[in-house]
Amino acid sequence: MKLPRNVKILAAVSFLTDVASELVYPLLPVFLTTTLGVSAAGLGVIEGFAESVSSLLRLPAGWWSDRTRRRKPLVVIGYTIAALSRPLIGFAQGAGQVLAIRMSDRFGKGIRTAPRDALIADSVAVGQRGYAYGVHRGSDNLGAVFGPLIAWAALTYQWADLRTLFFWTAVPGLLSVLFLVLFVREAPRSLTTPRVVAAASVKQGTDVNGPPVPALHRESDEPLGAAFWKMLAVIFLFTLSLSTDAFLLLRASQLGVPQAMIPILWAALHVVKSSSSFVGGALSDRFGRRPLILSGWGIYAFVYLGFAVASVQWHAWALFVVYGLYFGLSEGTEKALVADLAPPARRGAAFGWFNAAVGIAALPASIIFGIVWDAYGAESAFVMAAGIAALSSLLFAVVVPRQRA
């Protein structure tokens, strides 16, 4: 299926951005805990606060893009802030400085994410929605393959040390901003809406791929509907199990994965994330959002339970590979479901609420996980997260109705 230029360019921008961010991220937990002496709970606080700042900003950013009917300016500002902030980690001498830099980086992400996701929805037909988000997430994850591989090569062959790698993230980051400024255009808002948008239609099992029907002019303060809020409540609960992936990397290190191989492990994860995202989004267009999300969440619970009982190095490699399927099946599909349930004039706000819910839950998720890890051990923390994910899957099956393929 051919996608509009906006989707292709935004996918390229996400690819370059993730090359930059993933040069740093897989090595950050080891850098913090060994070089700077940060505890597991401290790591949870840093990542939890950073992600919460990011997600909480997405609500006002999405709302503002609805009110002004302009998505691109906020997207450009957000990517620019992140591109300029990320290299500063190379100067950090303490945990407080890393926290400030990570929060600045995530501040940029918070400004750009909801308007960008809404811009994708504005740019594609409803029948391409899952595929478009799948391609976007797949490209993002593909960047997360190249970033760790570059880091591994640089460290293995001693082309650069950790701090120099952090400085080099400026190159792909600024290239992504250039692509965005030159090639992305505002998309006109459609005056039609898919039948699945209406809560009543969703409850009746309306086909996700059904043709759009004429809609009245939709104002930017139109209610989002009960179906949207129920879905959001369950996603909020599931996110309480989503502690930062930094803990997975720390667990892999405990299981014997050498520091030099951590970027390769991270790249392997993103190979699976990228390839499965391209497929998962398209499958959700064909078979519906519900079965894809339930499958992804089930895999997540299985992987976290696996990390609780893992005992040797190869367990970490196997679990990281399976973990990638969770992202491929659910990430793009969740965004497509948000777009399905939101009126066109409220898409920015809908994605803002979606990301705000994720952000509010992200802080306690990472902090509690770190506290349980320090107090009772890694095994208990992973079992706790797996239980929350399993409960959330059951509630999602009850709250979100079936949709005909």
Q: What would the mean pLDDT of 106-123 be, rounded to a whole number?
A: 89
Q: What pLDDT is stored for residue 387 in this prediction? A: 96
Mean pLDDT of 274-284: 85
CA distance 390 to 241: 10
Q: What is the pLDDT of residue 332?
A: 84
Assess if residue 84 is contained within a domain: yes
Task: Give the tokens for residue 38.
Answer: 């940060």
> 40-68 and 246-254 are packed helices; what angle lies between their axes, rounded to 10 degrees?
150
DSSP state of 307: H
Structure tokens at 285: 């267009």
143 located within any domain: yes
Rounded distance between C-alpha atoms, residue 246 and residue 269, angstroms:
13
The pLDDT confidence band at residue 232, using thresholds 50, 70 and 90, is very high
Report pLDDT for 201.
36
- Please give the structure tokens belonging to residue 54: 């990011």
* pLDDT tops 90 at residue 402: no
pLDDT of 175: 95
Half-sphere exposure of 114 (CA within 13 A, CB side): 32
Residue 149 lies in domain: 5-186+194-206+219-399
Mean pLDDT of 233-257: 90
In this prediction the pTM is 0.70
Q: Distance (Å, rounded) from C-alpha 130 to C-alpha 104?
A: 30
Q: Note whether residue 212 is domain-resident.
A: no
Task: Let me know: does 123 contact 187? Beta carbons within 8 Å.
Answer: yes
Q: pLDDT per residue over 292-337, tens digit each?
A: 999 999 999 999 999 999 989 999 999 999 999 999 899 888 988 9
Counted domains in the chain: 1
Within a 10 A sphere around the Cβ of 314, how many other Cβ atoms?
Answer: 12
Mean pLDDT of all residues in 131-136: 88
What is the Cα–Cα distance from 84 to 172, expressed in whole angstroms? 11
pLDDT at residue 214, as a whole number: 39
In DSSP terms, 193 is beta-bridged to: 213
DSSP H/E element including 160: none
Percentages helix, strand, coil for the chain (3-state, rounded to 5) are 80, 0, 20
194: three-class secondary structure by DSSP: strand
Terminal Cα-to-Cα distance of the chain (whole angstroms): 18
Which range is most confident: 144-158, 165-179, 268-282?
165-179
403 touches 205 (CB < 8 A): yes
CATH number for the domain including 61?
Answer: 1.20.1250.20
Q: Quick one: pLDDT band at residue 89, thresholds 50, 70, 90?
A: confident
Structural domain contains residue 139: yes
The rounded percent of the chain whose pLDDT value lies above 70 is 89
Beta bridge partners of 212: 194
Q: Which amino acid, one-letter code, is at 297?
A: W
The one-character DSSP state at 213 is E
pLDDT at 404 over 50: no
Which whole number is the average pLDDT over 16-35?
81
Is 170 contained in some domain?
yes
Asked whether the predicted pLDDT for residue 199 surpasses 80, the reply is no
With 80 as the cut, is the pLDDT of residue 188 above it?
A: no
Is residue 82 within 8 A of residue 45, CB to CB? The reply is: no
pLDDT higher than threshold 60 for residue 362: yes
> 288 pLDDT band (50/70/90 cuts)?
confident
Residue 177: the pLDDT is 95
**Residue at 213 is within a domain:** no
Of 198 and 67, more confident:
67
Beta bridge partners of 192: 214
Q: What is the mean pLDDT of the chain?
A: 83
Confidence grade of residue 244 (pLDDT, cut at 50, 70, 90):
confident
Would residue 275 count as lying in a domain? Answer: yes
Distance of CA 388 to the CA centre of its chain: 19
Pairwise CA distance, residues 357 & 362, whole Å = 8
Q: How far, rounded to the nearest angstrom, does the alpha carbon of residue 124 sit from its chain's CA centroid?
A: 20
Answer yes or no: is pLDDT of 274 > 90: no
Q: How confident is the model at residue 190 (pLDDT cuts 50, 70, 90)?
A: low
The pLDDT of residue 203: 39
Question: Which of 220, 289, 261 has the alpha carbon at shortest distance from 63?
Answer: 220
Residue 388 is assigned to a structural domain of this protein: yes
Neighbouring-strand partners of residue 214:
192
